[in-house]
C-alpha cells in the first residue's frame, strides 16, 4: 500500500558534481527542475558525498565542479527564490541519518540494488568494492527521507534507489513508529482537531478501513495536511492510524520519472561525458560549430550525390529536438533526394544550439563575476535545508531512544 508523505508537495533531487554540465543535463534534468520549482516546494542539492563514493581517488574533480555546477543551474534558470539550493556536506545531518538508517537496513537490500553490480562492471577502472559505494543508495535514502519529500524526480536508473528508500522508510516506521498506547494517543489526537474535523476524520477512516474507499483515504490525508492545531507527532500518528499502522515518522516517497531526454550525443548515443560526445553548457560558440560540423552523419552519404536516410543519422535526432516541422520536412526531402549536403543540413542545428546557449552563457558570466552572490545563495539554501534536517534528526533520535536531553 502506498503510504503517503505528509509533505507530498515537497520535491527533492540531487546531482553529482563530477564534471561540466552539458545539453543532455539541460534537456533531461534541468528543464524539468525549472518546471517543478513553480509547482512544488523544491530542494535541489549538490550530492558531493555521492560523488566521493565513486571519485574518492580523484576527488579534486568534485571541488572543481561544485561551483560550476551551481552556476550552471542558476544560468539555466533554476531560481533560488523558488527552490532551496544546497550542498549535501553542508548539512551533516545527512551523514547522521545515513548512519542511523544503516543500523536497520539489511545488507541484502543493498547488495541487490541493480546499480551496485552494474556500476562496478561498467566502471572497471575504479575500485568500487568499498563500504561507501555499497551504501550509496542508502545515503540517497537519507537525503530523501530527511526532507520527508513526497516526490523525487529521477531518471530510470535511479528508480530502484527510490524503491529502496520506500522499503527503508517502511521498516523504520514499523520499528520505531510503534509506541506504547498508540491507539489511545491517536484517539486523543483526533479530538484535538475539533469536533467537526474529528467527526469527518473518523468517518473517512472508517470508510477506508471498512470499505477500502481510496477516495476517503485521500480526503482524510488532505484534511490532516491542513491541520494547524496539532503537533507534528500527532499528525504522524493520525496518518498512521488512518491506515491501521503505527506512527509514520518517515513517509514513503515516490519517484517522479524524468522523461528520458531526447537529446542525443554527437555520435547518436546518449549524451554522456564518458562517451566523449557532449556539448557542454559553457562550450564557446566556435567550438559548438566545430563539434557539430564534424559530427558523423549517415555513413551511406559518402558523396553529396549519395542519398541518405535521416533515421540513420544522429543529426536527424538533433533536428527533432531543435527544428520546426518545416525544417524537418526540408531535411527529410533533401537527405533522401541528395538535394542538400550534410553541412547545409547541420546549419539550422548550429544556429539553434548557439542561440540556446547564448543567454545561458551570459548569465553564467554574470554569476562568475559575482561569486559572492553564488556563495550567498548556497549559504542561505544550506541554512534553510539544515533547519528542516535538524527537525527530522531530532525526531529520529527521539523515536530511536537517543534523546538524552
Per CB under 6 A, residues contacting ligand TRP are 12-14, 16, 47, 50, 140, 143-144, 152, 154, 158
Q: Among residues 154 and 318, whose Cβ is nearest to ligand TRP?
A: 154
Q: Among residues 33 and 322, whose Cβ is nearest to ligand TRP?
A: 33
Q: Among residues 257 and 340, whose Cβ is nearest to ligand SF4?
A: 340
Q: Check residue 352 for interaction with ligand SF4 (CB under 6 A).
A: no
Q: Check residue 340 for interaction with ligand SF4 (CB under 6 A).
A: yes
CB of 337 to ligand SF4, least distance (A): 10
Query: Applying CB under 6 A, which of residues 220, 345, 357, 389 lies at the interface with ligand SF4?
Result: 345
The region of 11-19, 33-41, 202-210, 334-342 touching ligand SF4 under the rule CB under 6 A is: 334-342
Chosen from ligand TRP, ligand SF4, none, partner binding at 144 (C-beta under 5 to 8 Å by type)? ligand TRP
CB of 345 to ligand SF4, least distance (A): 3
CB of 50 to ligand TRP, least distance (A): 5
Query: Applying CB under 6 A, which of residues 12, 21, 78, 313 lies at the interface with ligand SF4?
Result: 313
Q: Among residues 48 and 234, whose Cβ is nearest to ligand TRP?
A: 48
CB of 27 to ligand SF4, least distance (A): 20
- HEC string of the chain equals CCCCCCCCCEEEEEECCCCCCEHHHHHHHHHHHHHHHHHCEEEEEECHHHHHHHHHHHCHHHHHHHHHHHHHHHHHCCCCCCEEEEEHHHCCHHHHHHHHHHHHCCHHHHHCCHHHHHHHHHCCCCCCCCHHHHCHHHHHHHHHHHCCCCEEEECHHHHHHHHHHHHHHHHHHHHHCCCCCHHHHHHHHHHHCCHHHHHHHHHHHHHHHHHCCHHHHHHHHHHHHCCCCCCHHHHHHHHHHHHCCCCCCCCCCEEEECCCCCCECCCCCECCHHHCCCCECCCCHHHHHHHHHCCCCCCCCCCCCCCCCHHHCHHHHHHHHHCCHHHHHHHHHHHHCCCCCHHHHHHHHHHHHHHHHHHHHHHHHHHHHCHHHHHHHHHHHHHHHHHHHHHHHHHHHHHHCCCCC
Query: Applying CB under 6 A, which of residues 21, 216, 331, 350 lies at the interface with ligand SF4?
Result: 331
Query: Applying CB under 6 A, which of residues 177, 253, 264, 308 lies at the interface with ligand SF4?
Result: 308
Burial of 264-276, coded b for 16+ CB within 10 Å and e otherwise, reads bbbebeebebeee
CB of 259 to ligand SF4, least distance (A): 24
Query: Applying CB under 6 A, which of residues 16, 221, 282, 301 lies at the interface with ligand SF4?
Result: 301
* Size of site (CB under 6 A) for ligand SF4: 14
Q: Check residue 264 for interaction with ligand SF4 (CB under 6 A).
A: no
Q: Check residue 298 for interaction with ligand SF4 (CB under 6 A).
A: yes
Interface residues toward ligand SF4, by CB under 6 A: 297-298, 301, 308, 310, 313, 315-316, 331, 335, 340, 342, 345-346
Amino acid at each position: 500500500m502506498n503510504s503517503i508523505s505528509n509533505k507530498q508537495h515537497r520535491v527533492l533531487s540531487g546531482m553529482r558534481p563530477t564534471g561540466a554540465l552539458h545539453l543532455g543535463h539541460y534537456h533531461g534534468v534541468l528543464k524539468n527542475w525549472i518546471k517543478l520549482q513553480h509547482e512544488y516546494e523544491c530542494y535541489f542539492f549538490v550530492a558531493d558525498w555521492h560523488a566521493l563514493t565513486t571519485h574518492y581517488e580523484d576527488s579534486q574533480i568534485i571541488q572543481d565542479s561544485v561551483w560550476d555546477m551551481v552556476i550552471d543551474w542558476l544560468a539555466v534558470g533554476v531560481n533560488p527564490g523558488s527552490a532551496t539550493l544546497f550542498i549535501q556536506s553542508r548539512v551533516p545531518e545527512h551523514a547522521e541519518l545515513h548512519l542511523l538508517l544503516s543500523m536497520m537496513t539489511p545488507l541484502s537490500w543493498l547488495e541487490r540494488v541493480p546499480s551496485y553490480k552494474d556500476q562496478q562492471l561498467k566502471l572497471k577502472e575504479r575500485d568500487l568494492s568499498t563500504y561507501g559505494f555499497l551504501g550509496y543508495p542508502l545515503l540517497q535514502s537519507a537525503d530523501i527521507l530527511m526532507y520527508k519529500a513526497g516526490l523525487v524526480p529521477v531518471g530510470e536508473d535511479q528508480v530502484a534507489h527510490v524503491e529502496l528508500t520506500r522499503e527503508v522508510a517502511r521498516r523504520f516506521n514499523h520499528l520505531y513508529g510503534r509506541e506504547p498506547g498508540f491507539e489511545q494517543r491517536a484517539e486523543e489526537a483526533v479530538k484535538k482537531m475539533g469536533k467537526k474535523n474529528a467527526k469527518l476524520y473518523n468517518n473517512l477512516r472508517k470508510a477506508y478501513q471498512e470499505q477500502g474507499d481510496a477516495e476517503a483515504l485521500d480526503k482524510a490525508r488532505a484534511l490532516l495536511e491542513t491541520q494547524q492545531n496539532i503537533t507534528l507527532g500527532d499528525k504522524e500518528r493520525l496518518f498512521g492510524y488512518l491506515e491501521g499502522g503505527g506512527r509514520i515518522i518517515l513517509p514513503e516517497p515516490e519517484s517522479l520519472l524524468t522523461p528520458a531526454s531526447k537529446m542525443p550525443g554527437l555520435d547518436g548515443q546518449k549524451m554522456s561525458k564518458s562517451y566523449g560526445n557532449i556539448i557542454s553548457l559553457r562550450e564557446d560558440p566556435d567550438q559548438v560549430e566545430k563539434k557539430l560540423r564534424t559530427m558523423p552523419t549517415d555513413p551511406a552519404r559518402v558523396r553529396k550525390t549519395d542519398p541518405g536516410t535521416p533515421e540513420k543519422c544522429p543529426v536527424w535526432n538533433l533536428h527533432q529536438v531543435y527544428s520546426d516541422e518545416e525544417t524537418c520536412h526540408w531535411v527529410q526531402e533533401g537527405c533522401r533526394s541528395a538535394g542538400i549536403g550534410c553541412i547545409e543540413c547541420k546549419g539550422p542545428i548550429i544556429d539553434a544550439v548557439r542561440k540556446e546557449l547564448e543567454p545561458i552563457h551570459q548569465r553564467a558570466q554574470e554569476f562568475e563575476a559575482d561569486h559572492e552572490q553564488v556563495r550567498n545563495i548556497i549559504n542561505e539554501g544550506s541554512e534553510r535545508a539544515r533547519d528542516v534536517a535538524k527537525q527530522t534528526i531530532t525526531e529520529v533520535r527521539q523515536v530511536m531512544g537517543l534523546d538524552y536531553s
